[in-house]
Each structure stands twice: as structure tokens, then as C-alpha cells.
Amino acid sequence: MKYQNSIEELNNLSDEHKIQIHKLEYWLKKYQSLFQETHRIKTCHDRTLPCYCKSRHLDCFFKDIYSGLDQIFNAYLINLTLEKEVKKYHSLKDNLFQSKKVAKKK
């Protein structure tokens, strides 16, 4: 039931199959301990995870959904960091260019 509730909540947070990043972050934080608990389970119906069963259970779906969304969220955070660093680079480059122009005038 806990897996079904988590997946239903995710569906409720989304709007036309899209989810805002702050809602995704909330959901990931809320269900992080459930994911970690599920991740510790090393077998799935007498098989080693990842699950390749023909009839998948909600724990497998939850694990796949959480893992995929966590990767997407982490990529988003990396992109934000890169954007900030590129802005810093351009600012430093512009400042250096301006400094060289002032130095040449003297």
C-alpha cells in the first residue's frame, strides 16, 4: 500500500504528465527513506535486483520511478550549477576585458 500511495501522490502532484521541479523535490525527499528501505532489498521473487519479472510488483515500479526521477532532479541541479559558473566566467572575462581597455588608455 505504501508504494501505491507514493505513486498516486506523484500522479496527483503532476499536471498533464508534467511536474514542477519543487514538487518533484518534495516528493523525492518525502519518499527517500522508503526508496532506501526498498533499495536494501537485494532479491525480487528469488532473483537479484534489478527486477526483470514479467509481472512487476509495485515495489519494483516505485524503485524504478524514484531512481529515474532522482537522476533527472540531480541533472537539473548540475545544470543550475553550470549556468551559475558560466555566468561567473562571463562576468570575470568582461571585467578582465574592461581592465585591459583601461590599462591601454593610460
CA neighbor of 56 nearest in space, from 44, 40, 38, 68 = 44
Q: What is the span of the domain harbouring residue 51? A: 2-105
The better pLDDT of the pair 36, 101 is held by: 36
What pLDDT does 9 receive?
95
- Tell which wins on pLDDT, 57 or 3: 3
Contact between residue 27 and residue 9 where contact means Cβ atoms under 8 Å apart: yes
CB 18 within 8 A of CB 66: no
Q: For residue range 12-49, list pLDDT tens digits in order.
A: 999 988 999 999 999 999 999 999 988 776 666 555 55
Report which of 50, 58, 41 is spatially closest to residue 7, judged by C-alpha positions.
Answer: 58
Single-letter amino acid code for the residue at 75: A
Q: How many distinct structural domains can be found in the chain?
A: 1
Mean pLDDT calculated for residue range 85-99: 86
pTM: 0.73
Per-residue pLDDT reduced to its tens digit, 52-68: 666 667 888 888 899 99
Q: What is the pLDDT of residue 10?
A: 94
